[in-house]
Structure 1
Amino acid sequence: MVKWDINKVQLASLIILVLGIILDGILIVFFFLSVISLILISMKRRDAITVFLVSMIVGFLSEELGIHTGIPFGRYEYNFPPYILGVPIFVILGWGLFSFISYLAIMDFPKRYKVAFFPLMMVIIDLSVDPIMVTAHFWTWAPSPLEWFGIPVTNFLGWYLVSLIISLTFPNRAYHDRPNPLFIIPYFLFSLKFLLFAEPQLFVPLLVATSLAGLTSIVLYMAENRINAKSV
């Protein structure tokens, strides 16, 4: 059995992030606690804050392109103020925080693993988030011949592409820490929380998304054990 450690700052960050996810029904609380978690992690891991900032910038640019051209996500309109150049501030923050939650689970993987996993992890998060936000009328999509509960499949292809671009900016595994399975918890909990409190019309898409998040978490755990075994 391979042992893994977590320092006090990382543990505090993990607890705060989990608490933020549990309380994500209060959007401001989720964002506030997630940012505190990010700051704590960044005291030891500056790559975390870099990923957060790069993800917000790339996410904002992709959204700005999307609302004017329909590329890469499809045609949509926002109803979610306040905005920066037409893009909701919470959407920009969402790109950063969703990336942070996903990156946290794989931050000590070799870069090739990060590039392979990260885009898929982000798409799975959006499989949960987008149906909820569309149901709440925070944004609306133009009709499409191929949809996932009212959301065009092009949206998820766009998420994969943008997330892949973000992952290519990730640093190589420079900290020489062994991957820690505890950091997978926030990623899975994020989707599970939505499912547990899902409205009836959202149960099926959230069940699928949570199942995919659970399967991904298992694969990540197995990959971490394999990486850790090689590092002993």
Structure 2
Amino acid sequence: MTSSSLFKRKYKLALGISLLFHLSAIIGLLFTDYHDFFIDNTPLNLIISMLLVLYTHQKINKSLWFFFSACIFAGLTYEVIGINTGLLFGDYEYSSVMGYKIFGVPVLLGVLWFTTMYCVGILTYQVYNWLKVKYNFTISNQLEIHLLAIIAAFIAVFLDLFLEPVAIKLNFWQWFPYGEIPIYNYVCWFFGSLILQYLFVILKFNKQNKFAVYLFIIQLIFFITISLFFK
């Protein structure tokens, strides 16, 4: 079996598993009385999504592991500062749904930061290169680095616009004092993401992963669906 065929099989398997989990969650939350079961299993979904991203990544190297570690460390650091000082994101608090916490922040938030940063980075990189080939344009390497990082950070904020209402509905976290999501949250998301996206662009690892694009789309559809229809 060729390397190309192997990864096509990996993409299909990962896509099937991801669709199964997200569709099951949509059906369970919208059409059954077992809301708590699906909400309580959110940590499992986060872990599986991360594992599928790593499973479908071609040629894992030290640079990818460095990015993985940096996302987890930076994500948890952002959140610990935010929860304990209010200097980042705003005034909010995590529930117990997402499991074990360190300084008030679920450890699994690091996983979420990595998966999100990886997916938006891959999406931006692949769409940009498709446009580059289609329209045959070239820009300087320096400008390209800035462009890719900034666009990816905006995409991360775009995803968070739909994630936040769902997180509140499912009681992952709550905002104080009135439950409203502050604009400052999105500002911090942008700059926090921007730092990690510069790292994504600069580090030398394979940035072709169709499954990461599929996962981004699946999660976006999930967040929009739950945001609109879950009561």
TM superposition score normalised by structure 2: 0.68
Q: Which is worse superposed, 63-72 or 38-47?
A: 38-47
| Matching residue of 2:184 | 154
Distance 2:171 2:212 in 1: 32
**1:92 and 2:110 are equivalent in the alignment:** yes
Aligned CA-pair RMSD: 3.1
Q: What displacement does 1:119 show? A: 0.8
Write the mapping of 1:21-170 to structure 2, written as runs, cut at 5 A.
21-22=18-19, 23-24=21-22, 25=25, 26-46=41-61, 47-80=63-96, 81-107=99-125, 111-143=145-177, 150-170=180-200
Q: In the alignment, which residue of structure 2 is the partner of 1:194?
A: 223
2:15 matched residue in structure 1: 18
Q: Deviations over 1:44-95 (max 9, x none)?
A: 1434443332111111111011011112201111113311222112222111
Identity of matched residues, %: 19
8 Å CA contact 1:17–1:33 kept in 2: the answer is: no
Deviation at 1:174, TM superposition (A): 4.8
CA distance in 2, matches of 1:29, 1:176: 26
SS at match of 2:199: coil
Q: 1:17, 1:124 → 2: CA distance? A: 24
Q: Would you say the 8 A contact 1:16–1:36 is kept in 2?
A: no
TM-score (norm 1): 0.68
Take 1:12 and 1:49, find their aligned partners in 2: how far apart are those partners? 24
Alpha carbons of structure 1 residues 173 and 50: separation in structure 2 relative to 1, 3 Å: closer
Tell me, yes or no, if the aligned pair for 1:21 and 1:193 is still in contact at 8 Å.
Answer: no
What is the distance in 2 between the residues matched to 1:182 and 1:140?
31
**How far apart, in 2, do the equivalents of 1:79 and 1:7 lie?**
43
Name the SS for the 1:130 alignment partner.
Answer: helix
Task: Tell me the secondary structure at the aligned position of residue 80 of structure 2.
Answer: helix
**Closer, same or farther: CA 102–48 of 1 in aligned 2, 3 Å:** farther
More divergent stretch after superposition (134-143 vs 159-168): 134-143
Give the CA deviation at 1:107.
4.4
Distance of 1:13 and 1:117 partners within structure 2? 28
User: 1:181 Cα shift?
Assistant: 6.7
Q: What do residues 126-177 of structure 1 show as CA deviations (whole Å, max 9, x unaligned)?
A: 1122111112222221237xxxx82111111111010011112224385687
Q: Secondary structure at the match of 1:140?
A: strand
In the alignment, the residues of structure 1 paired with residue 42 and residue 67 of structure 2 have an alpha-carbon distance, to the nearest angstrom, of 22
One-letter identity of the residue aligned with 1:119: A
The answer for unaligned runs of 5 or more in structure 2 is 26-40, 130-143
Q: Which runs of 4+ in 1 moved over 4 A?
A: 107-110, 173-177, 179-183
Alignment-mate amino acid for residue 165 of structure 2: P
Q: Is the 8 A contact 1:16 1:33 kept in 2?
A: no
The SS at the match of 2:174 is strand
Task: In structure 1, list runs of 5 or more residues that go unmatched.
Answer: 1-5, 203-232
* Greater alpha carbon shift after TM alignment, 9-18 vs 127-136: 9-18
Check the 8 A contact 2:76/2:105 in 1, yes or no: yes
Say which is worse superposed, 79-88 or 55-64, in terms of deviation: 79-88
